[in-house]
Amino acid sequence: MKYWMNLALPLVMAFTLGACSTSSPDVIQRGDAQRMALVEDGVVLTVRDVVVDGSQSGVGAVVGGITGAAAGYGGSGMQREAQVLGVLVGVAGAAAGNAIERFATRETATEILVQLKNGARRAIVQAKGGEVLAAGDSVIIITTGDKVRVAKAPK
């Protein structure tokens, strides 16, 4: 039982760390706090949910590979067999760790198609925030540096 608990710990950590990440439009990064932004008026044409694929930084693969190699190496009493088993289970662990990291960092976002006052259209994908937007809503597009977000227009 203790053996399986040691294997489960890295998986639980990967899911926990992945759940902590956020890119909500309601959270402003420190570097954007005192920058002037370009603001454009527009009207929402459509809103739909999209999935932003998770990241693959390599941390999941490293943790999975090390955990798998250690578990595989300890799975046999014979030296040569333990080494081969360690390599095989390490490779499988790396693949599983990479998949877990990718799944844990995946998030649901919103794609908003906006028509600007000058007739131009913009498609913006942003994380779901506290505001709910619908077709026909008056909005503003806020551009700060290379970051863009959509918010309801002030009344």
CA distance 155 to 153: 6
Residue pair 92/68 in contact (Cβ under 8 Å)? The answer is yes
Return the pLDDT at 45. 95
Q: What is the pLDDT of residues 100-143, one digit of tens each?
A: 777 777 788 889 999 999 999 999 998 888 888 999 999 999 98
First to last CA, the chain: 61
Q: Which domain holds residue 17?
A: 1-22+54-105
State whether 100 and 145 are in the same domain.
no
State whether 2 and 42 are in the same domain.
no
Q: Which residues of 57-85 are buried (b: 16+ CB within 10 A; e: fewer)?
A: eeebbbbbbebbbbbbbeeeeeeeeeeeb
Query: Residue 113 maps to which CATH number?
Result: 2.40.50
How much is the pTM? 0.55
> Number of helices and strands (H, E) in the chain?
3, 5
pLDDT profile of the chain (155 residues), mean per 10: 45 45 58 73 93 73 73 69 75 78 79 93 88 92 87 89
State whether 123 and 143 are in the same domain.
yes
State whether 111 and 40 are in the same domain.
yes
